[in-house]
Structure 1
């Protein structure tokens, strides 16, 4: 193992944060197109960022100047946003209106991408289409082996989303739009929208399903990478007629600039966006309510019916998890309720102070927690042993393996804390 001096460590961090400008013909064409079309509509193309390659994240956006809190990162005129209005004014939109269909904004945007992709260089949107990924590492493209190697809760999450996507695809096929849309093509478009769209509140339309998903695609903006620590103000500026992003973080010149997709754990990031974050502060190991009850019964806890009533009435069965910080608050309280004798149960609210009820209660509470954790540690180890050697792992399998290693660490640390 190499032990770097302070100066060398600082230099390495700086190198990881600064980028090498990416000169690809597609990116150059997109940048020129954005600048030209913005000016054509009376906007001055404002962007202090340029696409670059970074050692830790791959492609991202580098700032060409120092940025302060409140500085504008990028401004995209409405004419260069792909909204549901854009779709409804297009050829595919005419067919949708002609058949009086009502589709979700994600379905509409997906159909539009497929329409424009089929036009090739003749499409107005070709410079944007050409920089979209050819494939995704999200749930729609998980192989059977990747699904098999996924933690059960992540697998269930992915399977639920696949069910939703297949339903959306069937609706499109049943609408008889006259388009021979292959499932794999729909999956590509669906995930381009799913992973790259921004919130945009369109005017209501009889052809758009009100499902709470108000989406639009913003060319160039989706080159920005996610960081849990990034803070931005983003939204459509009605007065200026453009979609704007302002940073609430300062950045040094030549550093990578980030946005945040929200406070998501690595399950969500992998399933929805196809990437994970190292040391993600939102990561936890979710614990099933039934597993805690099973552990309590295994150590012969009494008065279970009354205890479950107390737990349900006060929602202590929700947000059960463990992390690098140990048991979640609700999981700690739940194990203490389950460990109570009848006398303690009459005054169960005393646990809300966080102070142990009694030595006997604390010992039994820890035993319940330890029983659950032992089961989860065993399941985690069994899944880890099923992975192929690292050199044979796919990109998704590498991310899954990293997730399982993080969960193993959380479980072991929590197990030690209750032992």
Structure 2
């Protein structure tokens, strides 16, 4: 499934909203380059798409023809993919081969982008590099102030990712001790690869550190935007020698065509791609099992040790979340088990069918839920007070605010459902 994304906008799926063809010099050059190079390589240029601007969304890909499920919307010849093979056959690839220390695929592709960008229009890949974003709105660019606005769980994840990138940058500097690679330049190339690459599996290489991350860059294709409801088939076709995107949806002429990056919540989309989606159905607020247990203890539930054993034996303590539908299944079952008296505990499996075991149990389980929701709601309120007025927010602050507001909405809905 493609892994790529645009930055600097919160977007939602729309159709028929008066697209305007993108005639910028860089886009026109890229389009002509893709067609010319494909033909020169012996491939027929296959694309129903044209870059365009859509009202309220920004740049995306418009179809020039009506499409039905099963149609190939774009096909990129292998020689126009930037893969590890591409890098290893280049000048910088010769340096990679001479080193004993191995780099990951993402590090290698990042170095290649930096090397080619430094060549300017002398690079074969210049038409592609010229349309890459100059900056990103991903976690690597968060200021100290913006970090304080992140929800705690997202902050923990971001800090871990920042450490990973620092290590990746250090390894690259150690790899080329004679080269001066600025941290900001490495961040640019790293997030270009991170947010715009597609899954592309090659055999192992003696020059590459294996980390299970198989990827490549696919010029032109990565201008497609993400929709949570888009259905596509994507991958390399060995028979045609091309990386192909096949839509399973129907589109009218001039519609924007979408792909799906996967079933990601807004935490993931913000961290990895630099955007969020309004009303993302994959959004959920994670609850800590320990907080849930402490809430039960505060209400003096009995036989807690027995209940914990039961919950853990059946792996019910994982995936404890709240969504726009309220408590997740596991979380609902856990609260009902914690609220059981001794007699109910012997027939605990009744609740697996979604049944209420008793009015007393249901009342107490809702009380436990309100107890553990309270600190999360307060934590969310405290975060919201930190944001400046929307008119004064930076782009990143607006994106973070959308995540905090998402949490607020889910917590409020869940509170109402247990009240």
**TM-score tier (shorter):** over 0.9
Q: Which moved more, 1:202-211 or 1:237-246?
A: 202-211
Distance (whole Å) between structure 2 residues aligned to residue 313 and residue 270 of structure 1: 35
Distance (whole Å) between structure 2 residues aligned to residue 14 and residue 343 of structure 1: 54
Aligned position for 2:9: none
Aligned position for 1:372: 372
Contact kept, 8 Å, 1:96 with 1:177, in 2: the verdict is: no
Contact kept, 8 Å, 2:199 with 2:214, in 1: the verdict is: yes
Shift, 1:301, TM fit: 1.3
Contact kept, 8 Å, 1:196 with 1:217, in 2: the verdict is: yes
Aligned position for 1:189: 189
Matches within 5 A, 1:295-314: 295-314=295-314
Aligned position for 2:263: 263
Contact kept, 8 Å, 2:232 with 2:248, in 1: the verdict is: yes
Distance (whole Å) between structure 2 residues aligned to residue 177 and residue 72 of structure 1: 45
Contact kept, 8 Å, 1:324 with 1:414, in 2: the verdict is: yes
Shift, 1:322, TM fit: 1.0
Matched, 1:27 2:41: no
Matched residue of 1:245: which SS?
A: strand
Matched residue of 2:208: which SS?
A: coil
Matched residue of 1:258: which SS?
A: strand
Matched residue of 2:75: which SS?
A: strand
Distance (whole Å) between structure 1 residues aligned to residue 370 and residue 50 of structure 2: 51
Aligned position for 1:5: none
Shift, 1:16, TM fit: 5.9
Matched, 1:393 2:393: yes
**Cα 1:348–1:73 shift into 2, 3 Å:** same
Aligned position for 1:154: 154
Contact kept, 8 Å, 2:102 with 2:208, in 1: the verdict is: yes
Q: Which moved more, 1:377-386 or 1:261-270?
A: 377-386
Q: Which moved more, 1:17-26 or 1:29-38?
A: 17-26
Distance (whole Å) between structure 2 residues aligned to residue 136 and residue 249 of structure 1: 30
Aligned position for 1:178: 178
- The higher-RCO structure (CA 8 Å, 6+ apart) is 2
Matched, 1:241 2:241: yes
Matched residue of 1:382: which SS?
A: helix
Distance (whole Å) between structure 2 residues aligned to residue 406 and residue 287 of structure 1: 15
**Cα 1:250–1:178 shift into 2, 3 Å:** same
Aligned position for 2:143: 143
Deviations 1:222-250 (A, max 9, x none): 10000000011110011111111110000
Distance (whole Å) between structure 2 residues aligned to residue 332 and residue 258 of structure 1: 35
Matched residue of 1:86: which SS?
A: helix
Aligned position for 1:10: none
Q: What is the root-mean-square deviation of aligned Cα atoms in Å?
A: 1.3
TM-score, normalised with respect to structure 1: 0.95
Number of equivalent positions: 407
Distance (whole Å) between structure 1 residues aligned to residue 51 and residue 144 of structure 2: 34
Aligned position for 2:165: 165
Matched residue of 1:216: which SS?
A: strand
Matched residue of 2:133: which SS?
A: coil
Contact kept, 8 Å, 1:16 with 1:56, in 2: the verdict is: no
Contact kept, 8 Å, 2:97 with 2:207, in 1: the verdict is: yes
**Cα 1:266–1:360 shift into 2, 3 Å:** same
TM-score, normalised with respect to structure 2: 0.95
Structure 1 residue runs without a partner (length 5+): 1-12
Aligned position for 1:9: none
Deviations 1:89-139 (A, max 9, x none): 111110111113321110110010011011111111001110000000000
Shift, 1:15, TM fit: 7.1
